[in-house]
Chains A and B, each alone.
Chain A
Amino acid sequence: MSATEAESIAAMLDPAVLTRVGQIPLVARRAKIGSVSGRHRSPHRGSSVEFAEYRDYVPGDDLRRLDWRVYGRSDRHFVKEFEADTNLRLVLVIDGSGSMRYSGQHGAGPMTKYELACRLAASIAQLAIRQGDAAGVTIAAEGETVRVPPRRRPSHLRVLAGEMARVAPGGPTRLTEVLHDVAERTGRRALICVMSDLFMAPEGLRDAFQHLRYRGHETSAFQIVDRDESEFRFEEATRFVDPEGGAPVLADPSMVASRYLAAWRRHRGALESIAVAADVDLRETFLDEDIASTIAAYLLARAGKRGRG
């Protein structure tokens, strides 16, 4: 491991972030299937103390779970169900394409979008492992897909961070391909956290998200963008070079700005409708945002919206 990678790992695992958001639990909105009893709901009804619901008895149900008191009062057979808690499998999917190299023109600092994605991922992974969940990472890098399977060991965190630091973003986007791969490879229901600018055709993304959902995974997506990209704040004529290998474009920003922004809004709208359709928690994250606040907001939103799976 090189010195820069070590620095990157240290930066990713910022204790200040953890201090701020450590008290908020990372919760799954949909039930997960885990091997260890944990703080996440399991789709299996179990024998925990958490009451879930009554339902009519059907032949074959375990008679031990029949609520005799209700039967005594109403002469009807009800089965009392309890929720079974399980542990969470967190898979962080990071987009390592060329467009993630962008670090902003307007005072956003030296961080690239990829770096922000890694920091977010590392912090979330750290949170998950601390509460006993398993965290793994899949990076859609240029020419390769880096996969680190989920583990619950605290030392696994350094493995994740090391892999993230090793990969240099570049090349065209392979995110949809990787997402399909993740959907297939992740056997049990998991929480998939996508870190990407999502600069890709919405149709492909929709298929990938639907695939994830179909496979029972819960998906969150952090769309990491810079304000340059969302607001297109350029004054003078600029040659825009595609980091993903496309043809460069020389444009007078004043002339193309409105069309650019319209395309941006269209794309954003498409993403949002996909997110709704595929039940994806889509979050727009700007490069100049505070990581701790972003994560805190994410966690709080999840904790508040705990639903059923």
Chain B
Amino acid sequence: MNLLQPLALWALPLVALPVVVHLLHRRRHRVVEWGAMMFLLDGERSSRGRQRLREILLLAARTLAVLALVLTLGRPIAGGWAARVAGERLDMVVLILDRSSSMGEEVSGLPESKLAFGLRGAGDALAIASPRELVVVDATRPGEVLRPEGVDALRELAFDEATSASSDLLAAFETAAGYMEEAGAGRTEVWVLTDAQREDWNPEDGRWEAVAQELTKASGGAGTRIRLTTFPEVADDNLAIRVEGVRRESEGEAAALVLDLVVTRAAATEASGDTAMRVPVAIEVGGARTTVEVELTGKEGRLVGHRVVIDPQLEAGYGAAALPTDRRAGDDRFWFSFGSTPVVETAVFAQSAAVASVVSVAARSPAGPDVIHEVRRLVSGAGADVDLDGVTFLVWQAPLPEGEAAAEVTRFCEAGGVVLFLPPSSPAGGSFAGLGWGQWGLVDQTDRESAVKTWRADADLLASGADGTPLPVGEVALRRVCSIRSVGDAPVARIPIAGLQGGQALMTKSALGRGAAYFLGTLPEPRSSDLATQGIVFMALVHRALDQAAAALGSEEQQVASASERWLEERWSVAASDRPDSLAERGRRAGVLTDGEVFVALNRPLAEDSSRPLPAEALTESLAPLDVVVTATRTASEGASLLDEVWRIFLLLVLGALIAEQLLCSPEGSAPGRSEE
């Protein structure tokens, strides 16, 4: 047995207290001249032995009560789980931390976040378990494996503050499994602190099965146990705020920001969700602070088009909308930036001037006032040294890039850029990202069958509109189509986006890092198709590609906090943040980053506000064949976390000793309530 608070042992001398009290008690008594000694002697003589025994028992009970109380205060830990009972030391503990925004919520009854609380428990448990190796995987940055030397080093990591990013627990498990296999871990336990949000856990993902198998394999038969400490409780009436839109408007000398705000609440019960309430929202822009009340009816309150007057000199800047802090402080503030209208640049590298101009027109047509679209035409034939700096979307209608150019385009894609390859006039060999061009083929105009027959309408560039209206891809008239070849055993997924009758691909996607390469088998010019004249499909395609790339490259002003390498670049600095920032966590913390020109507001993902916790069974199921122990912590008092604390047993001992004491104290032979005759 170990104690978490060994300092409590200093209170052990208190055990002597009952003895001292007993001795004092013996000295302190009154004297009575007593005539009826014969009865007293009779009683006393016959009960002297029993009385002594009773006295000793009484003393023992009192001493035991004090001892048990002292030990309870010391937070005793039983030898713990199986490994320790068996006398075996754990070879490795992999600690997976869900540091997503929602883990910043306070545990009910404590001024401490779920993460800090859980981490403290884990620290205690680690101090007891003292594994040979400790590995920490931060699920908001799941690719990285940290190896703090011992518990103190773990505390120094200062991981007890939640980030604003979302967690990818699956990826964290994959990383953990990978590391375990590599390190050849023996008896290993994976300890996970999470609030088990559906979005973070993603239990439907097919990769869980593989992860479970890998974990089983990684420990080499020594057995891997997963200990999940979950925090399924969600704060009642937690309020969250988001800024859905910001734009700067100026009229003459005056300037104002127009904000669209949404305040949501996570009502625990239906009834509590019905009451209307007014919430003050503080809006801070450029050092000035205004307050506006938002009325919530049901679970949501919106404030659309709220104008905040700003200094007309302030062309670009940032601000925040904040709610009064509640138990989940992470969603009480939302950062926004304005003015520094980002430029989304499209680079066109086309053999055909017609194609280039169609792409230019499509890319330049503004889809909204928030973005400035620019198009750069790369000089034809200069494929050897493509300059893609600042480019978001690349349209390539030329023989596929080779050498330096191919490497540059690959880098561009992996960073999040999107490239759309259009067939050159005379397709040659070569490939990019596992795809290459085949031959041009004419499409029989009478054969209606050869029109576009299938396309991905659920996602990607040809997805249906937000209301479900499909793009009229099927009505695109095709005159000639260049076939798309799959080349080699590419390490990337090739996803068909659109296809003709008979299975011939019209459009295929090849995912590359954070970006993608699309191959479209026809051209937006009259000889090949009516994509240019019936511009809807092409326009949607181009702008979605732009959005997708812009989001991936982070060209937008409002972004989701994430562990992107991009924010670690030197040019970014923190303009404002919820918390003091460490460089490693820049990008995962809500706040505003700036590179001197552009302000980018980073906030928690939407899912953090709304995602519900998964039940323990779902968690166990996703890790199916493994030995999973789920400890749900709802309130601070339940904080058994990763430890098998046995203080309850000691508390029962205290109680038992006190009851025994009471029984021994009560007058002999007369049960309470029974009067003497």
Contacts and interface: CB of A to CB of B under 8 A. Distances in A.
A257 B34 contact: no
Contacts of A231: 676
B57 to A, nearest CB: 12
Nearest to B665: A254
Q: How large is the interface on A (under 10, 10 to 19, 20 to 34, 35 or more residues)?
A: 35 or more
Nearest to B34: A240
Contacts of B30: 236, 238-239
Contact of A241 (B33, B36, B43, B665): B33
Contacts of A257: 43, 667-668
B42 A259 contact: yes
Most buried by B among A101, A113, A255, A264: A255
B571 interface: no
B677 to A, nearest CB: 8
Contacts of B579: none
Contacts of A265: 677
Most buried by B among A100, A234, A256, A258: A256
Interface stretch (B46-54, B212-220, B251-259, B327-335): B46-54
A250 B29 contact: yes
Interface string A224-258: 01000101001011111111101001111011111
A261 interface: yes
B10 interface: no
B44 interface: yes
B527 interface: no
A69 B84 CA distance: 118
A243 B34 CA distance: 6
B29 A256 contact: no
A258 B670 contact: yes
Contact of B31 (A238, A254, A262, A263): A238
A249 B39 contact: no
A102 B47 contact: no
Given A259-B42, A260-B43, A263-B43, A199 B32 contact: no
Contacts, number: 112
A197 interface: yes
A239 B35 contact: no
B38 interface: yes
Contacts of A197: 35-36
A255 B41 CA distance: 13
A258 B667 contact: yes
Contact of B37 (A105, A236, A240, A254): A240
B29 A255 contact: no
Contacts of B667: 254-255, 257-258
Interface string A67-104: 00000000000000000000000000000001111100
Contact of B35 (A237, A244, A251, A264): A244
Contacts of B34: 102, 240-243, 249
Nearest to B35: A99
Nearest to A243: B33
Interface in B499-527: none
Nearest to B50: A255
A213 interface: no
Nearest to A259: B43
A256 to B, nearest CB: 4
A84 B44 CA distance: 55
26 contacts: A101-B33, A101-B35, A199-B36, A225-B36, A234-B32, A237-B25, A237-B29, A238-B31, A238-B32, A239-B31, A240-B31, A241-B31, A243-B34, A254-B665, A255-B54, A256-B43, A257-B668, A258-B670, A259-B44, A260-B36, A260-B39, A260-B43, A261-B676, A263-B38, A263-B39, A267-B38
Given A102-B34, A260-B40, 6 more contacts: A229-B35, A236-B29, A241-B31, A249-B37, A249-B41, A257-B43
Name the 7 nearest CB pairs between A and B, nearest first.
Answer: A99-B35, A259-B43, A240-B34, A263-B42, A258-B669, A263-B39, A237-B29
